[in-house]
Amino acid sequence: MSPEAKTGFPGGLDPGALCETWGTPLYVYDARVMLEQLATFRAAFSKLPHRILYAAKALSTLEVLRLFRKEGTGLDAVSVEEIELGLRAGFRPADILFTPSFPSAGDLERAAGLGARINIDSLSTLDKFVGCHGSNTACCLRLKPWLRAGESSEATERWREDSKFGIAMEELDTACERARSKGLRIEGLHVHSSSVILDADVFLEAAGALFEAARHIPELDYLDFGGGIKVPHREEDPVIDLAGLAHRLEPLYRDFSKERGKELELWFEPGRFLVSRAGILLARVTGLKENDGEVLAGVDTGFHHLLRPRLYGAWHEVTNLSNPGGEPAEYRIVGQLCEPDDLATARLIPEIREGDLLAFHNAGAYGASMASNYNSRLRPAELLLQEGEAKLIRRRETLEDLLHTQPGA
């Protein structure tokens, strides 16, 4: 039994033993948390006809896709490769919505050939799709309703005026006319705000914009609100009350449906909400250094494995699994790359010693899926904890993996 065995790790498993077996750094995901988050989302919108499409970009490991497919979700894909992964995971083509950004004609042709639904976010993309949609005679239109997603240190706003995403509202009539003139049926309308929606009022304002746009498109089957529901990374973080949001959305939807004479299905694309809290990145402390009045704790990972702190200024709780009862001290946690790669700054953590095992929490979303081989470093293994067992769902990379695509290596 390792020193970390009694730290209350998910599933009652020993994180030290897991790392002895699969090495560090190591991504560990708890399937129970994923399913609990999915149940929470479904319960919040249970009074409305809705469908959930898991956002593959958050964590696209095949076994995670299979988990959500077995639970009856659809799939939100942003690349042809994500469509192909979804098909391998067992999703039906009709359960996959492809929402690309500036796709080539080849991308659209491949996606249509695979049978995925197509979400179009520009007039030029619509024109390309007209020439290659094959037997796929329906499409969804992604709109840009000129809204803001709210303030956040890690917000990547999608509704602001200069966003590259979506068809401007004043272009909607033109898009509809072009689609219909080529025999395309507009089956859905879509908006997506941000990966960190904080303000229910903004979400409801977007709903109002969707309902208004839908009044002029009688053939619609669904309205897609995208994803972006934020999960808290620390106690003081603001977070939307999902049940409260659904309660406020319901009368707007009922009025819209009564006027229309038909109920449209409401689609949602959660990714971070479903997997973020389920993931932990485990890393070993490789050294300590006094540096101009602060203490640096170096670990065997970096932003090549967990990019969000570097890219978005994201905050991840860090715990010392090897010495949870140690005297707290302030540390700056840094990685191994050849440039500044702070993972956490000014953190009060129980005494850190070389060799200790640290856990970076809330790392299930946009962690492994954004990892890279920068500095020619290898990406870590991934485990899925399910029913008290740890299953390897992605092995650790080897040097041979890096050389595989290089002829003559």
- The pLDDT, as a whole number, for residue 136 is 64
Q: Which residue range is the domain that position 117 belongs to?
A: 45-274
Tens digit of each residue's pLDDT (9 = 90 or more) over 70-114: 999 999 999 999 999 999 999 999 999 999 999 999 999 999 999
CATH number of domain containing 129: 3.20.20.10
Co-location of 312 and 231 in the same domain: no
The reply to whether 341 falls in a domain is: yes
The reply to whether 215 falls in a domain is: yes
Return the half-sphere exposure (C-beta side, CA atoms, 13 A cut-off) of residue 241. 6
The reply to whether 172 falls in a domain is: yes
Question: How many domains in the chain?
Answer: 2
Residue 194 reports pLDDT greater than 90: no
Mean pLDDT of 254-271: 95
- The pLDDT, as a whole number, for residue 132 is 77
CATH number of domain containing 361: 2.40.37.10
Measured distance between the N- and C-terminal CA atoms of the chain, rounded to whole angstroms: 42
Co-location of 210 and 340 in the same domain: no
Co-location of 88 and 237 in the same domain: yes
The reply to whether 374 falls in a domain is: yes
User: Cα separations (Å) of 400 from 25, 392, 403?
Assistant: 19, 19, 5
Q: Whole-angstrom Cα distance, residue 189 to residue 183?
A: 17
Co-location of 23 and 74 in the same domain: no
132 catalytic per annotation: no
pTM: 0.94
Co-location of 270 and 363 in the same domain: no
Co-location of 270 and 292 in the same domain: no
Tens digit of each residue's pLDDT (9 = 90 or more) over 55-82: 999 999 999 999 999 999 999 999 999 9
Co-location of 216 and 80 in the same domain: yes
* Token pair 């903004």: residue: 202
DSSP-assigned states of every residue in 319-378: EESS-TTSPEEEEEEE-SSSS--EEEEEEEEE---TT-EEEE-S-SSSSGGG---GGGPP
Co-location of 287 and 200 in the same domain: no
Of the residues 224, 256, 274, which one is the last residue of a structural domain?
Answer: 274
- The pLDDT, as a whole number, for residue 155 is 45
Q: Whole-angstrom Cα distance, residue 297 to residue 247?
A: 46
Tens digit of each residue's pLDDT (9 = 90 or more) over 269-319: 999 999 999 999 999 999 999 988 999 999 999 999 999 999 989 999 999
Co-location of 383 and 253 in the same domain: no
3-state SS class at 30: strand
